[in-house]
């Protein structure tokens, strides 16, 4: 694989990850959003959803703002709705793409995140995968089991990649 193909694959992989995250929130029942997390009653599913976007914004601010990458506004984790979150995730995804491109333009290095841009992307994919799984498990525990096509859809990366 050439360097240019690898760079494109890295950005495309991030975009697919974002699409998988957006897919979950597009299909998450409204009644699940305010549900409290067992064992952490001050935390809700809504707060986990907002945290994903806000975490992206934090990294964009830390690594990209001084390089001219616009930092999307954070969402209110206590009040965010699907209607607010979905476009926010698109904005923060674009910021992550810009960080990846910045790192790729700098020989694979992102100042402030060792060791390289591939690890940076893997960190974010793992972080979001953790929270997607957490939400799916919470839905089951709270009696809101998601339909099979939704949970299976989280693993259909070829399909999500085409949507991205």
> Can you tell me which residue has the tokens 């599913």?
45
Rounded Cα distance between 114 and 104, Å, is: 14
Of 141, 127, 138, 126, which Cα lies nearest the Cα of 44?
138
- Listed range (59-63, 86-90, 108-112) with the worst mean pLDDT: 108-112
Specify the pLDDT at position 6. 84
> Can you tell me which residue has the tokens 């760079």?
7
Instruction: Return the CATH number at 62.
Output: 1.20.120.450
Whether the CB-CB separation of 163 and 19 falls below 8 Å is answered with yes
Residues 6+ apart with CB under 8 A from 154: 20, 23, 24, 132, 136
Write out pLDDT tens, residues 27-57.
999 999 999 999 998 999 999 999 999 999 9
Overall average pLDDT of the 88-115 stretch: 94
pLDDT confidence tier of residue 4, bands split at 50, 70 and 90 = confident
Cα 106 to Cα 30, 75, 109, 125, 132: the distances in Å are 43, 31, 6, 21, 31
pTM confidence score: 0.95
Domain residues for the domain of 74 are 3-163
Q: How many domains does the chain have?
A: 1
Q: What angle in degrees, to the nearest 10, is found between the helix axes of 3-27 and 117-141?
A: 20
pLDDT confidence tier of residue 3, bands split at 50, 70 and 90 = confident
């Amino acid at each position: 694989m050439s360097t240019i193909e690898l760079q494109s694959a890295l950005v495309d992989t991030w975009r697919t990850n974002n699409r998988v995250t957006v897919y979950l929130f597009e299909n998450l029942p409204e009644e699940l959003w305010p549900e409290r997390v067992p064992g952490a009653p001050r935390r809700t599913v809504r707060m986990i959803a907002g945290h994903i976007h806000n975490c992206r914004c934090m990294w964009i601010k830390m690594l990209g703002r001084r390089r001219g990458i616009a930092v999307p506004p954070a969402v209110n984790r206590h009040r965010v709705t699907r209607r607010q979150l979905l476009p926010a995730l698109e904005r923060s995804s674009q910021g992550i793409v810009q960080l990846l491109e910045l790192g790729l333009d700098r020989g694979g290095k992102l100042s402030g995140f060792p060791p390289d841009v591939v690890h940076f992307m893997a960190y974010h994919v793992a972080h979001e995968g953790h929270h997607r799984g957490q939400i799916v498990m919470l839905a089951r525990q709270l009696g809101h089991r998601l339909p099979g096509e939704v949970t299976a859809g989280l693993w259909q990366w070829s399909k999500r990649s085409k949507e991205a």
